[in-house]
Amino acid sequence: MINIKAANYLTKFYYCFAFVIFTGLMTFTYSQEQPISKDNNTEPDTGLSTQAHEELIVDSNIDFEEAVTGQIIPQNNKDDLVLINVRYFSFDHKLHGGQLLVNKAVANDLTEIFNFIEETKFPINKVIPISEYNWSDDESMKDDNTSCFNYRFVSGTRVLSLHAKGLAIDINPGENPYIKNGITTPAGSVYDSTSPGTITEFSDLVNKFKERGWNWGGDWNTLKDYQHFQKEIPIEDQN
């Protein structure tokens, strides 16, 4: 004869075991039916962020001394300069970081304009201080490099350029050449108003410069310098 007490224990054990199995099955089924909750950080780690972040490609990362080395620059000119970091989307559609050596008086202008360039994804090939090209304007232009300060004369003259004060910038020379008497610089460049990175009279970028008191070389009559923007600052305001 089966002991009644033992039978009661077996019955309780059976019901407990059945309850555990039933609960486990229900929990598994429920978890399979539920969507992944990002709010609760339950998404599997795929190695990718749930929010896309642009990886910055660094085109230039030098210090001020490197940006002014290799050229004889009067100390008063050097004292007026500052090296600023800028970001832009290049022709590879990726976010790049570069640097401009500029006059302190226009640093804020150019920072704001490059913020606009980044926001609108106007393509800029690269932005590297011209010291990295051994101070050669020709080599910088051949490389389609955007630059600002260069202690040099206006082409074909003995007059100091506004580049020598950090008050002028050349943007995408390959797409926006200097054209005089039918000769285009840099050599081999073509001005095509429909090409990405080209600056035209209808460009919002031109308006952004003009709103801040800059002049554009594309407006000149005797020659066209589509890459070129400059701002004339009274001497007392240059600091």
Question: Residue 216: what are its φ and ψ, rounded to 5°?
Answer: -115, 130
Q: pLDDT tens digits, residue range 88-129?
A: 999 999 999 999 999 999 999 999 999 999 999 999 999 999
Q: pLDDT tens digits, residue range 7-36?
A: 455 455 555 455 545 455 444 444 444 443
The answer to whether the beta carbons of residues 135 and 151 sit under 8 Å apart is: yes
Looking at residue 52, its pLDDT comes to: 44
Question: Does the bond joining 186 to the residue before it have cis omega, within 30 degrees of 0?
Answer: yes
What angle do the packed helices 204-211 and 107-120 form, to 10 degrees? 160
Question: Residue 85: what are its φ and ψ, rounded to 5°?
Answer: -95, 135
192 to 53, 115, 145, 174, 198: CA distances (angstroms): 33, 25, 18, 10, 7
Which of these ranges, 100-104, 129-133, 153-157, 196-200, has the smallest mean pLDDT? 153-157
- For residue 207, what is the DSSP state? H
Q: Which residue has the higher pLDDT, 68 or 44?
A: 68
Structure tokens at 103: 């006059």
Residues near 109 by beta carbon (within 8 Å), at least 6 away in sequence: 212, 214, 231
Task: Measure the CA angle with vertex 104, ends 233 and 129; round to 5°.
Answer: 110
CA dist., res. 89 & res. 117, Å (int): 8
The model's pTM is: 0.76
Beta strands in 109-227 (DSSP E): 126-127, 145-146, 168-170, 178-180, 183-185, 215-216, 224-225
CA dist., res. 189 & res. 175, Å (int): 7
**pLDDT band at 53, cuts 50/70/90?**
low
The distance of Cα 197 from the centroid of its chain, to the nearest Å, equals 14
